[in-house]
Homo-oligomer: A and B are copies of this chain.
Amino acid sequence: MYQFSKIVNSLRTSEIRDLMGLATRADIISFAGGMPNDDLFPIKEINEIYNNLAGQVKKTAFQYGPTPGYPPLLESVKEYMRNKGLPVDDNKILITTGSLQAINILAKVFIDPGDVAIMENPSFIGGISAFKSYLADIRSVPMDQDGIIIEKLEELLNDKKINPKLVYVTPFFHNPAGIMYSTERRQQLINTLKGRNIPLIEDDAYGELYFDENDKTQLTPIKAVAPSDLTVCYTSSFSKILGPGMRLGWMLVPPQIYEKCELCKQSMDACSPNFTQVLANEFLVQGKIYPYIAELRKIYKERKDIMINVLNEYMPKHEDIKWVEPRGGFYIWISLPEYVDATDVLKKTIEGGAVFVVGKTFDPDAKKNNFIRLSFSNMPIEDIEKGVKIIANSLKPFIK
């Protein structure tokens, strides 16, 4: 009947939601959720900020704000982005209700029903559902440990029958793949896309959560170095560096694209919450964000180290069971022998008292399922070993 009705079933992720239900059960060790750690939110800092807001600012917090964002936050995010080397003066920032809204808006602006959107495989589930919700024809490109496989991308780009309207990538601490793009791969991606008149959406929600200071030089966003003949729409978020409950993200895009996106947002929710924008702005302006993120890096690295140790210890030794050690972010992506269906492993894992997300969830074609995503961000740290043991034991019977 309605176009949206036609595709609505493909948006159904009840499997994930059932898992999320499990993920909050106290007796289940959850490696499923892609959320920050409950115990790490900067509650003390935000309490202090909230209780010291000037009267007029607090009134502003309760009121409607301009569609583009709370003006002081636009300024402080601009400086924050400038510090990352991003071209904030030639582009415009739009504050969004989480970076998922930024991706959704870009999908709405770029995609007509049936248009091709190119994504990595695996890819962020929110991106997949945003593109699907506009009836995109998603074509996915496999990745290796350095990023999207350029030859496969070029095959698609050179196919005269398709006319891609966008390419979407997550270069840093990929969800779910857990990897970061190598500098070389990022450059190859730029070389491949430039001059083709296909915008690149660069999703950078996790880039600040690196584990090794030495990697910092390799974390320059594509947006910061893209030539003038490549349009990059950069998206980022406060969700992993302050709290997703704030629902604040942003896009940094060229002015002509910004203009459409702003009108689109105006018709979607008029503005993002001033209440949390006011708090996020103080968090930036008062410089509280930098020591806070430094602390997060240490703690998530510690968790990652434990994960890698126990995975090495307990996972079945097999040439087709492998993972890349993450250099940031929340995720370890484990590939299994092709004959293993992760859903079978999951069922057994749940019986044992743990949970994770199966690979096909992140496959735009919802097929490839010999992968599991383990998020190490949010269980009690003492449960990691126990949980990985459960997963390893559940996996063993399926390995030939």
Show the binding face of A for B, using Cβ within 8 Å: 2-5, 8, 11-13, 20, 33, 35-36, 38-39, 41, 43, 46-47, 50-51, 58-66, 96-98, 100-101, 104, 108-112, 126, 129-130, 132-133, 165, 239, 242-247, 259-260, 263-264, 266-276, 278
Contacts and interface: CB of A to CB of B under 8 A. Distances in A.
19 contacts: A2-B111, A2-B165, A4-B109, A4-B260, A8-B264, A12-B263, A20-B66, A46-B62, A62-B242, A97-B247, A104-B267, A104-B269, A126-B270, A129-B266, A133-B267, A245-B274, A246-B275, A247-B247, A273-B276
B100 A269 contact: yes
A165 B278 CA distance: 39
B41 A269 contact: no
Nearest to A111: B2
A109 B5 contact: yes
A231 to B, nearest CB: 14
Given A36-B63, A101-B268, A246 B273 contact: yes
Contact of A270 (B3, B100, B278): B100
Given A11-B266, A268-B268, A270-B126, A260 B5 contact: yes
Given A4-B264, A275-B245, A97 B269 contact: yes
Contact of A63 (B35, B108, B112, B269): B35
A236 to B, nearest CB: 15
Contacts of A97: 97, 247, 268-269, 272-273
A13 B264 CA distance: 12
Given A38-B59, A61-B245, 18 more contacts: A2-B111, A5-B109, A8-B259, A13-B266, A36-B63, A61-B243, A97-B272, A129-B263, A133-B267, A243-B275, A244-B274, A245-B273, A245-B275, A246-B273, A247-B247, A247-B274, A268-B268, A273-B276
A278 B3 CA distance: 35
Contacts of A2: 109-112, 165
B268 A62 contact: no
Of A62, A270, A275, A278, most B-chain CB atoms within 10 Å: A62
A54 to B, nearest CB: 12
Contacts of A101: 268-269
Contact of A58 (B43, B100, B108, B246): B43
Nearest to A128: B267
Given A268-B268, A270-B98, A245 B64 contact: yes
Contact of A269 (B66, B247, B263): B247
A98 B275 contact: no
Contact of A64 (B35, B104, B263): B35
Contacts of A11: 263-264, 266-267
